[in-house]
């Protein structure tokens, strides 16, 4: 985490509409990374990592969707995973000890990280996912890569997977034997590229002369909204952030009551947000430690049930002829509630995944309307490879120590 968050020049912010996504990415990353990576190398990393668009699509007047699912794994996590893997690859010198990336996934992280690191020399990725709690397409994305990617199916929840990974990082023996690193959004290299699309979405609205921009963010580990708040701290003049969760409402409850009470996660339709103790919340609190009241002002919490999610999916389909994934639908509900109180604001809700990743949520009629991307058709012919483990740390440690791959 940067010790001081750099403020971008006002002139840049005011003229954002004149820059492309990659130009914005370069300016923002340069400010955050200072001269850690020389300009030409940073440009090359960005060109390679950010090779798909992030369009703002208007649903109706004042309500827009920011589509973040046009990357290879069909989720916004491609931004973070692709940038991070290339930055890590950049710093790895030939002949150095292999980098062992441990990652816990509730569904989408694993696929993005696997595709981001696949074939990156001198790296190995171990993905932990909760058995039976990811969708069939997600499971195929995690378990069919081979090469330097391996998948571990944990008999437990996402929180169990995350706890195993965090525990491994504090284990002396594992740290002596392996060069461990994280690929979850506790890694700052994932958050930096996620700031790019907030600036770029703002730029798209600026081109249409729109102001009073509000972002509604479907939140689980709070990395995505953490990146938005980082963009805000760097000078992006966002009017409000809406943190939208499913019934795993630890943060909305905190914003309401002032009491932070982590809870065991509950399984929902929006499984990528089934997080009871969001990793990035401490980072967000820290970013605002100089003025905690500012955080309470800029951030509003919402939480919605599965029934409301299903209702929202139908409503958006009927009214706007648009298919939203369950996570996206939760952000839309927050946007809708905000709009009712603040009708002149320009609301942007983030669409974090392509709906085809969650086929079990949709009725036949809606499922028919989803266009299936090519990469999904190809996945369905592949074979699953995963090692099954319990949720205790000793078994996981033994697996890491004894697996000779």
Ligand X SMILES: *Cc1c(COP(=O)(O)O)cnc(C)c1O
Query: By beta-carbon distance, which residue lies closest to ligand X?
Result: 108
- State the Cα–Cα distance between residues 225 and 220, nearest whole angstrom: 9
Nearer to ligand X, 30 or 268 (CB): 268
CB contact set of 116 (below 8 Å; sequence gap of 6+): 78, 81, 82, 84, 85, 86
Nearer to ligand X, 29 or 243 (CB): 243
> CA nearest 142: which of 379, 399, 381?
379
Which tokens is 375 given?
């990469």
Taking each helix axis from N to C end, the angle separating 108-117 and 77-91, rounded to the nearest 10 degrees, works out to 40
Interface with ligand X by CB under 6 A: which range of 13-21, 218-226, 296-304, 306-314?
218-226
**Spatial strand order in the sheet of 149-154:** 179-182, 99-104, 123-130, 149-154, 387-389
The answer to whether the CB of 154 falls within 8 A of the CB of 390 is yes
Write 249-257 long-range contacts (CB < 8 A, 24+): 249/301, 249/303, 250/275, 250/276, 250/277, 250/278, 250/281, 251/219, 251/222, 251/278, 251/281, 251/301, 252/301, 252/302, 252/303, 253/301, 253/303, 254/301, 255/296, 255/299, 255/300, 255/301, 256/301
Q: Is 75 in the site for ligand X (CB under 6 A)?
A: yes
Q: How many residues bind ligand X (CB under 6 A)?
A: 16
Nearer to ligand X, 16 or 217 (CB): 217
Nearer to ligand X, 26 or 69 (CB): 69
Measured from the CB of residue 316, what is the shortest distance to ligand X in angstroms? Answer: 16
Q: Is 220 in the site for ligand X (CB under 6 A)?
A: yes
Q: Which of residues 104-123 bind ligand X (CB under 6 A)?
A: 108
Q: Is 130 in the site for ligand X (CB under 6 A)?
A: no
The answer to whether the CB of 226 falls within 8 A of the CB of 284 is yes
Of the candidate residues 87, 213, 353, 356, the single one contacting ligand X (CB under 6 A): 353
Nearer to ligand X, 222 or 396 (CB): 222
Q: Is 85 in the site for ligand X (CB under 6 A)?
A: no
Q: Is 265 in the site for ligand X (CB under 6 A)?
A: no
Interface with ligand X by CB under 6 A: which range of 5-13, 14-22, 196-204, 217-225?
217-225
Of the candidate residues 203, 327, 334, 389, the single one contacting ligand X (CB under 6 A): 327
Q: Is 324 in the site for ligand X (CB under 6 A)?
A: no
Residue 182 to residues 37, 71, 120, 278: CA-CA distances in angstroms? 20, 21, 16, 15
Measured from the CB of residue 343, what is the shortest distance to ligand X in angstroms? Answer: 27
Helix/strand/coil for 300: strand
Nearer to ligand X, 72 or 220 (CB): 220
Q: Is 228 in the site for ligand X (CB under 6 A)?
A: no
63-67 and 346-351 beta bridge pairing: parallel
Nearer to ligand X, 45 or 325 (CB): 325
Q: Is 71 in the site for ligand X (CB under 6 A)?
A: no
Nearer to ligand X, 28 or 68 (CB): 68
Binding site for ligand X (CB under 6 A): 75, 77, 108, 185, 218-224, 272-273, 327, 352-353
């Amino acid at each position: 985490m940067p010790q001081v968050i750099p403020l971008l020049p006002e002139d840049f912010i005011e003229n954002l509409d004149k820059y492309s996504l990659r130009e914005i990415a370069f300016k923002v990353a340069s400010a955050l990374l200072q001269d850690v990576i020389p300009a030409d190398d940073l440009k090359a990393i960005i060109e390679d990592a950010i090779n798909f668009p992030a369009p703002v699509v208007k649903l109706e007047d004042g309500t827009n969707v920011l589509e973040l699912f046009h990357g290879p794994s069909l989720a916004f996590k491609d931004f973070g995973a692709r940038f991070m893997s290339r930055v890590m690859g950049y710093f790895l010198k030939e002949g150095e000890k292999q980098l062992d990336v441990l990652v816990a996934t509730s569904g989408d992280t694993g696929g993005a990280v696997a595709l981001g690191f696949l074939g990156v020399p001198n790296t190995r990725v171990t993905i932990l996912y909760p058995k039976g709690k990811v969708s069939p397409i997600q499971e195929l994305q995690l378990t069919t890569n081979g090469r330097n990617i391996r998948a571990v199916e944990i008999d437990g929840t996402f929180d169990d997977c995350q706890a195993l990974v965090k525990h491994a990082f504090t284990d002396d023996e594992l740290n002596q034997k392996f060069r461990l690193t994280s690929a979850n959004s506790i890694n700052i290299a994932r958050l930096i590229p996620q700031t790019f699309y907030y600036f770029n979405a703002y730029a798209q609205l600026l081109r249409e002369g729109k102001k009073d921009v509000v972002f509604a963010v479907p939140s689980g580990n709070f990395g995505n909204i953490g990146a938005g708040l980082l963009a805000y701290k760097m000078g992006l003049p966002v009017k409000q952030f809406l943190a939208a969760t499913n019934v795993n409402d630890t943060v909305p409850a905190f914003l309401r009551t002032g009491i932070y009470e982590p809870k065991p996660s509950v399984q929902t339709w929006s499984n990528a947000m089934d997080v009871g103790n969001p990793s990035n919340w401490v980072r967000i609190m820290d970013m605002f430690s100089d003025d905690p009241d500012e955080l309470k002002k800029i951030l509003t919490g919402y939480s919605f049930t599965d029934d409301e999610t299903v209702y929202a999916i139908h409503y958006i389909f009927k009214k706007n002829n648009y298919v939203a994934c369950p996570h996206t639908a939760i952000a839309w509900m927050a946007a809708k509630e905000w709009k009712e109180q603040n009708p002149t604001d320009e609301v942007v809700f983030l669409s974090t995944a392509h709906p085809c990743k969650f086929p079990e949520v949709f009725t036949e009629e809606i499922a028919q309307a989803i266009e299936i991307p090519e990469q999904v058709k190809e996945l369905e012919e592949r074979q699953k490879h995963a090692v099954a483990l319990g949720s205790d740390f000793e078994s996981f440690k033994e697996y890491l120590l004894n697996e000779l791959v």
